[in-house]
Structure 1
Amino acid sequence: MKKNIATRKAPAAIGPYSQGVLAGHLIFTSGQLPLDPETGDMVGHDITLQTRQVLRNVQAVLEEAGSGMEKVLKTTVFLSDMANFAKMNEVYKEFFMEDYPARSAFQVARLPKDALVEIEVIAAV
């Protein structure tokens, strides 16, 4: 059974995809960008502000599905520049405590809307 997740507390999808999908006891979020959910505008021009907004957006999608950051099993982080990894990691630690989820991180050639970071997660419900 599959259920699409949508919340106004996270940015609306900018293409033909869902903010998240609930399947069984798992939720899969789409990659979240550093967009303000109310305006759709990019938040900040530095990795710290953008990472914080991305993770707030992830959190909003998870909460809409009845989950939360403490139930995240795996994250995938996409960075426009791996030189931003340490600063991203500092903000990341604000949202994930002990018993961290598994994680992959990649530098990519370009992200939608020229964001500096995009993060997707898989979480338990």
Structure 2
Amino acid sequence: MDSNVTKKIVSTEKAPKAVGPYSQAVQYKNILYMSGLLGLDKKTMKLVPGGAGPETKQILSNLQAFLEDINISLNNVVKTIIYLKNMDDYSKVSHMYEKSFPNLKHAKTIVPVPKLPLNANVEIEAIIDCRLLIDNNE
């Protein structure tokens, strides 16, 4: 293993802060690993009302704001992992994905879970190819 390769914490004020004791994202080599995103309003740090659909829309908006701030496109998303409290909301989440980002094509996994932080309905992790990442944290 290359001893010169280190992980780097990546953060932005353009998206909600993590709700726990962890980073918004970590870069290792050419991959950016986003911590789970919730449907939080950045100003209030509260979940947007309306359930899984609006939460998903907010999550994707927060993801886009985060990536744009570090000069990365949504097209660089390689995979998302969606944690869903109620599988009956699957169609709402998928619809919001397609409606918000019709050209976003990547691998996607849906995982049913009994509970999420802040009693959210949806949490999304993202893995991003960041070879073009411009360092704004130095």
Normalised by the size of structure 1, how large is the TM-score? 0.91
Q: What does residue 28 of structure 1 align with?
A: 33
Supply the distance in 1 between the matched residues of 2:65 and 2:111 (Cα, whole angstroms): 24
Superposed CA RMSD: 1.4
Supply the distance in 2 between the matched residues of 1:3 and 1:64 (Cα, whole angstroms): 16
Q: What does residue 101 of structure 2 align with?
A: 95
**Larger-Rg structure:** 2
Supply the distance in 1 between the matched residues of 2:27 and 2:58 (Cα, whole angstroms): 22
Please point out which of 32, 38, 42 is paired with 2:47: 42
SS of equivalent to 1:57: helix
- C-alpha displacement of 1:63: 2.5
Identity over aligned pairs, percent: 37
Supply the distance in 2 between the matched residues of 1:80 and 1:63 (Cα, whole angstroms): 28
Structure 1: which 5+ residue stretches go unaligned? none
Q: What does residue 78 of structure 2 align with?
A: 73
Supply the distance in 1 between the matched residues of 2:35 and 2:69 (Cα, whole angstroms): 14
Please point out which of 59, 63, 71 is paired with 1:58: 63
Supply the distance in 2 between the matched residues of 1:73 and 1:96 (Cα, whole angstroms): 15
Q: What does residue 14 of structure 1 align with?
A: 19
Please point out which of 80, 84, 89 is paired with 2:89: 84
Q: Tell me if structure 2 keeps the 8 A contact 1:74–1:102.
A: yes
User: How many residues align structurally?
Assistant: 124
Normalised by the size of structure 2, how large is the TM-score? 0.83
Please point out which of 97, 109, 120 is paired with 2:114: 109
Q: Tell me if structure 2 keeps the 8 A contact 1:35–1:42.
A: yes
Q: Name the stretch that deviates more: 25-34 or 61-70.
A: 61-70
Structure 2: which 5+ residue stretches go unaligned? 1-5, 131-138
SS of equivalent to 1:31: strand
Supply the distance in 2 between the matched residues of 1:66 and 1:4 (Cα, whole angstroms): 16
